């Protein structure tokens, strides 16, 4: 199985790119907010177990997908430097354990464009962060802009690149 991890700051376009990539590869899409919505239906985000459960569900699902011979899964995530290292290492372990491959895609975008994208209607549909002040506080408290330091990532600045073009670049780069 191939695991493609598309990560970057909020509003960078991870889901849009992942959807396009899923369309051209036939891979399954594990949208970041599916697990968040599930856990949030019972627990508040501020509870200690909240993020631990989300990671556990994602990892279990990816492991099961590998065991069931799913060709590929695309995962979207905001990676917080230092805080999400254990999760990333667990993803790598799942790929290795199941003789799979894992590919990392780092999306980045100019700040003004990110703030503009916060207001896109599709963000509301998925219960995503839309408030600029909350966004500014989140990115000032968390390092979400840099590539993951201990993996090789294919970086795309999608400030002026469509989701479809970004997906084609990923497909070509990783020969998917």
- Structural domains for the chain: 2-174 (3.40.50.300)
Q: Residues 6 or more apart from 123 whose CB is under 8 A from it?
A: 11, 117, 129, 130
Reading phi first (left if > 0) and then psi (alpha if -120 to 50, else beta), residue 12 is in alpha
Res. 40: pLDDT tops 90: no
Q: What is the pLDDT of residue 173?
A: 98
pLDDT score recorded for residue 69:
92
Which tokens sit at 76?
């979207």
Per-residue model confidence (pLDDT) at position 56: 92
Helix (H, G, I), strand (E, B) or coil at 86: helix
pLDDT band for 150, please (50, 70, 90 cuts): very high
Can you tell me the distance from the alpha carbon of 59 to that of 113, in angstroms, rounded to the nearest whole number? Answer: 32
Q: What is the pLDDT of residue 125?
A: 72
Determine the Cα–Cα distance for residues 141 and 136; give it in Å rounded to an integer: 9
Coil, helix or strand at residue 101? strand
Q: Nearest 10 degrees: CA dihedral of 37, 3, 160, 117? A: 10
Tell me how far apart the alpha carbons of residues 134 and 115 are, in angstroms, rounded to a whole number: 11
Find the range with the poorest average confidence among 17-21, 29-33, 69-73, 80-84: 29-33
Does residue 129 register a pLDDT over 80? no
**Which tokens hold the place of 56?**
């556990």
Question: Across all residues in the chain, what is the average pLDDT?
Answer: 91
At residue 60, the pLDDT reads 94
Taking a C-beta distance cutoff of 8 angstroms, is the pair 129, 148 a contact? no
């Amino acid at each position: 199985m191939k695991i493609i991890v598309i990560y970057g700051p909020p509003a960078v376009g991870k889901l849009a790119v992942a959807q396009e990539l899923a369309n051209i590869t036939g891979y399954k899409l594990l949208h970041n907010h599916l697990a968040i919505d599930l856990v949030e239906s019972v627990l508040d985000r501020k509870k200690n177990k909240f993020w631990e459960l989300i990671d556990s569900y994602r990892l279990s699902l990816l492991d099961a997908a590998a065991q069931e011979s799913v060709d590929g899964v695309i995962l979207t995530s905001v990676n917080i430097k230092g805080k999400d290292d254990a999760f990333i290492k667990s993803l790598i372990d799942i790929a290795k354990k199941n003789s799979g491959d894992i590919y990392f895609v780092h999306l980045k975008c100019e700040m003004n464009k990110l703030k503009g994208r916060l207001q896109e209607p599709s963000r509301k549909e998925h219960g995503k962060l839309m408030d600029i002040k909350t966004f500014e506080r989140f990115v000032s408290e968390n390092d979400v802009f840099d590539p993951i330091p201990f993996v090789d990532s294919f970086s795309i600045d999608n400030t002026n690149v469509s989701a479809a073009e970004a997906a084609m670049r990923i497909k070509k780069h990783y020969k998917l």
